[in-house]
Amino acid sequence: MVSNQSDTFDIGGELTVHRLGFGAMRLCGPDIIGPPEDEENARDVLRRADDVGVDFIDTADSYGPGVSERLIGEALDASRDDLVVATKAGLLRNRESDWIAHGDPDYIRNQVLASRDRLGVETIDLYQFHRPDPDTEFEASVQAFAELKDDGLVEHVGLSNVTVEELETARDHVEVATVQNEYNVGNREHEDVLEACEEYDIGFIPYAPVGWGDGFEGETREAVESVADAHDASVYQIALAWLLEHSDVTLPIPGTSSVEHLEANVAASDIDLTDDERATLGGL
């Protein structure tokens, strides 16, 4: 039977979760706009994630927009003490499926109310600033999140798509519980951000944990395929296993709209890489 075998991390020093989580972006329609064709299937995926021990779910108000949060609120009791649901604010969507940065403090304060309603919670476990907005002072956006925490609307504050310098700036205004940046075995652009998170015991949520599209290319794919063959696993499972072993603060959130794919992702938490395999993948 598939079950989440990853070890745990305490988000903000308080919220204990298994480190392998679930990203709920793919539960929406094409281009992450509108509802999925089969909403009951999407709810089944969420319930199955809960069944197999996934207790950390990541979403955002911009997924749908609003659709992913609504489906989570319908399928699960997001107020449970043994389930952590993280969401985000700071991006606008349109019918052309663009992602438009919008960090206006008033917008953030409005969106937290909508997210609470869709998720069915009084307090959001982890509320993340989705992306810095070039048209809004970064510190003003962060201060809005800090005030939401002070007001009890959110329990912990996270950041996404930030540099080390922006992380340091944010920490002057609020305790930062997590950072979510793109990171995987084939993309280490934000290694410095991961190292800062390790130093401060901040959870690092690597989005696109198995890459985009077909995953990885060239030398990276060849190396991952070689390790996958040795474990009778997929390249995606090895990519997840590597993230879990690469750092104690990583919280991978692979997403899918398929129960079968979900179970395959969770099974990756039971893969133990050898020292040589870790060295090979780590040196890519």
Could you report the per-residue pLDDT of 206-250, keeping only the tens digit for each?
999 988 766 677 888 899 999 999 999 999 999 999 999 999 999
Annotated catalytic residue within 63, 127, 183, 207: 63
Sites in the chain below the pLDDT cut of 70: 213-215
Instruction: Provide DSSP, 34-66.
Output: S--S-HHHHHHHHHHHHHTT--EEE--TTTBTT
Is the pTM value of this prediction over 0.85?
A: yes
Strand ranges (DSSP E) for 135-261? 154-160, 176-182, 203-207
| Dihedral of the alpha carbons of 171, 176, 182, 183, in degrees to the nearest 10 | 100
Q: Is 63 a catalytic residue?
A: yes
Pairing of strands 124-129, 84-89: parallel
Q: Is the Cβ–Cβ distance between 192 and 168 less than 8 Å? A: no
Per-residue pLDDT at 1: 84
Residue type, 65: P
Q: Is the Cβ–Cβ distance between 265 and 255 less than 8 Å? A: no
Q: Token digits for 7?
A: 């070890």
Angstrom distance (rounded) from CA 38 to CA 44: 10
- Considering only the C-alpha atoms of the chain, give the largest distance between any 2 of them, rounded to a whole number of Å: 53
Point out which residues pair with 188 in neighbouring strands.
none
Angstrom distance (rounded) from CA 266 to CA 22: 9
Kindly report, residue by residue over 180-203, the tens digit of the pLDDT: 999 999 999 999 999 999 999 999
